[in-house]
Structure 1
């Protein structure tokens, strides 16, 4: 019962598939494209600025 040979873990099978040489190049390029896309998207987002405080008119010139 300890030597039960059931189906292997699907995540482990995916990792084994992804680290073989032909697929590893594609996985690497896909990861680069994903990182570029996410960083480009994050760079284009505009930060939310608080409204600027009202500018007070000077009452007397400074010397």
Structure 2
């Protein structure tokens, strides 16, 4: 008898929430979030082209 396609994610979740594996899953997710946030932080925004100086009526701080 074949397994249903929806059984695979459910089986992975059951495996991932057991104590030894849950620590590893937590660390992997932590490193992924830290790595992605570092990568996004290193991206440089594109500079706008053909923008002149601000108008004289613009407030100064």
- Using the size of structure 2 for normalisation, the TM-score is 0.72
Partner of 1:7: 3
Unpaired runs of at least 5, structure 2: 54-61
Report Cα offsets for 1:9-55 as digits up to 9, x if no partner: 0000000000000000000000000000000000000001102426x
Unpaired runs of at least 5, structure 1: 55-63
User: What is the distance in 1 between the residues matched to 2:27 and 2:34?
Assistant: 11
User: What is the distance in 2 between the residues matched to 1:35 and 1:17?
Assistant: 22
Number of positions where the alignment pairs a residue of Structure 1 with one of Structure 2: 50
- After TM superposition, what 4+ stretches of structure 1 lie above 4 angstroms from structure 2? none
Cα RMSD of the aligned pairs, angstroms, is 1.8
